[in-house]
């Protein structure tokens, strides 16, 4: 039986963070009712690359029921309250203060429905001078300093997926699971709050510690590690890049003997400790490049793997599509069945079943009829 079967999640959601959280709950078997505005979640229109559907929307909204409501309308607000009265979890990531202004602030809802777990997802939290600011993913990447350590020495860069949103969604999911366990012990729901900024700031702890305790930034190094060498991307004979990572002296010695075929380098005074290899990175890079130029990428990676050296190919997304380790799943959308990358967690008790992505308001009639029937039977 799916772990969260018989749990009801009501999610007043849009974009990425809250839909990611609720989709993980749906994957685990929860019933998720996605509340959408007239016209639908704007993420439906990010693009049309998946048979006319948005890539982000198709990824993050499987297994849900779609209910269109205008929460400012008294009738629709009453319907939402009826859903919340029997819900286990309420998630919202509207603009700052929007849910509260509509009468759905989390604290009041928990007072009204004692077993309800609430989860508020915001950009910067609900206090402080940034609390009322809009927070799109790239803006938060910039505000947290992530862009300052991403890219090359010449220019900062953006992480190519919505990493701040994704972090917030996964943090919300983790917090909700803790809250469910807490409710098992206390019988009462609790409030969970996460923000895009706090989640990415947490992931920035190592750069933060560098800055705080050395007074210097970690810096940008492109496809090379800021302190470990050799650890980065180097061209093979065919021009394709291979990433190499040396983490200890045993690996360094094997690299010198079995790949470079230069045992003399093991005791070379420029390279005989991790610290010295970092100091003499330019000389070391030339050694690596000269050695790697002897083989095309496939043969070079075979040599490195035989020597027990950590390595990887610098792949394009088309390589990911064909990657031998990639697992995929299929499920339905309004445009038909689509194939996606599988969730990363595997369970020993068998494969999970993944339900379809809903159309806008696809479940309006069914959910309204369900609530009317419950009212009649009261």
Q: Which two tokens stand for residue 92?
A: 């919202």
- Identify the CATH number of the domain in which residue 290 sits: 3.30.1540.10
H or E stretch at 308: none
Q: Which residue shows structure tokens 């990433």?
A: 243
- Identify the CATH number of the domain in which residue 66 sits: 3.40.50.10540
What is the distance between the alpha carbons of residues 223 and 177, in angstroms, rounded to a whole number?
36
Number of domains in the chain: 2
Q: What is the mean pLDDT of residues 147-166?
A: 95
With 60 as the cut, is the pLDDT of residue 267 above it?
Answer: yes
| Residue partners of 321: CB distance under 8 A and separation at least 6 | none
Supply the DSSP string of 202-242, one letter for each residue. Answer: HHTHHHHHHHHHHSS-----TTB-SS-SSEEEEE-TTS-EE
Cα dist. 14→37, 211, 295 in Å? 9, 35, 49
Q: Which residues on neighbouring strands pair with residue 333, listed in sequence order?
A: 336
Domain C-terminal end among 266, 282, 313:
313
Q: What is the mean pLDDT of residues 97-124?
A: 94
Do residues 85 and 109 lie in contact, with contact meaning Cβ atoms separated by under 8 Å?
A: no
What is the distance between the alpha carbons of residues 227 and 280, in angstroms, rounded to a whole number?
11
Q: Is 96 inside a domain boundary?
A: yes
Q: Which residue shows structure tokens 């980065």?
A: 232
Domain co-membership, 258 together with 362: no
Domain co-membership, 71 together with 196: yes
**378: confidence class by pLDDT, cuts 50, 70, 90:** low
Domain co-membership, 104 together with 247: no
Domain co-membership, 36 together with 136: yes
List the end-to-end C-alpha distance of the chain, in Å, as a whole number: 30
What is the distance between the alpha carbons of residues 163 and 17, in angstroms, rounded to a whole number?
10
Q: What is the mean pLDDT of residues 334-338?
A: 93
Domain co-membership, 68 together with 189: yes
Q: Which residue shows structure tokens 């970690």?
A: 218
**1: confidence class by pLDDT, cuts 50, 70, 90:** low
Q: Give the pLDDT confidence of 44-80 residue by residue, as tens digits.
A: 999 999 999 999 999 999 999 999 999 999 999 999 9
Domain co-membership, 295 together with 334: no
> Rounded to the nearest 10 degrees, how much is the dihedral formed by the CA atoms of 57, 62, 64, 67?
30
**Domain that includes residue 260, residue range:** 231-313
Residue (of 106, 81, 50, 77) closest to 338 by Cα position? 50
Q: What's residue 286's pLDDT?
A: 95
């Amino acid at each position: 039986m799916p772990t969260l079967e018989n749990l009801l999640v009501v999610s007043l959601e849009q974009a990425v963070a809250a839909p990611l959280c609720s989709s993980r709950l749906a994957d685990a078997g929860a019933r998720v009712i996605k509340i959408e505005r007239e016209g639908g979640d704007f993420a439906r229109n990010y693009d049309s690359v998946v048979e006319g559907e948005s890539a982000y929307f198709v990824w993050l909204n499987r297994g849900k029921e779609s209910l269109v409501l205008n929460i400012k309308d008294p009738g629709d607000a009453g319907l939402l309250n009826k859903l919340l009265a029997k819900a286990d979890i309420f998630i919202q990531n509207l603009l700052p203060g929007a849910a509260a202004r509509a009468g759905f602030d989390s604290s009041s809802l928990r007072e009204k429905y004692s077993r309800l777990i609430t989860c508020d997802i915001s950009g910067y939290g609900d206090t402080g001078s940034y609390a009322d600011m809009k927070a799109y993913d790239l803006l938060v990447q910039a505000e947290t300093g992530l862009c300052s350590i991403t890219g090359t020495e010449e220019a900062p860069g953006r992480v190519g997926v919505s990493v701040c949103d994704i972090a917030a969604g996964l943090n919300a999911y983790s917090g909700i699971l803790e809250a469910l366990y807490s409710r098992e012990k206390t019988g009462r729901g609790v409030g969970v709050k996460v923000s895009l900024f706090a989640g990415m700031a947490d992931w920035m702890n190592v750069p933060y510690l560098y800055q705080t305790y050395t007074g210097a930034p970690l810096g940008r190094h492109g496809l090379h590690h800021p302190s470990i060498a050799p650890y980065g991307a180097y061209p093979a004979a065919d021009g394709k890049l291979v990433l190499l990572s040396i983490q200890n002296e045993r690996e360094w010695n094997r690299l010198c003997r079995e790949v470079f075929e230069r045992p003399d380098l093991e005791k070379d005074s420029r390279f005989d400790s991790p610290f010295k290899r970092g100091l003499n990175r330019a000389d070391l890079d030339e050694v690596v490049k000269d050695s790697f130029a002897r083989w095309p990428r496939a043969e070079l990676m075979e040599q490195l793997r035989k020597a027990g050296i950590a390595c990887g190919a610098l792949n394009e997304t088309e390589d990911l599509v064909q990657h031998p380790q990639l697992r995929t799943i299929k499920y339905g959308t309004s445009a038909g069945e689509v194939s996606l990358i599988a969730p990363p967690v595997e369970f020993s008790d068998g494969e999970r079943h993944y339900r379809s992505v809903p159309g806008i308001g696809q479940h309006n009639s069914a959910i309204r009829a369900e609530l009317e029937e419950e009212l009649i039977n009261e």
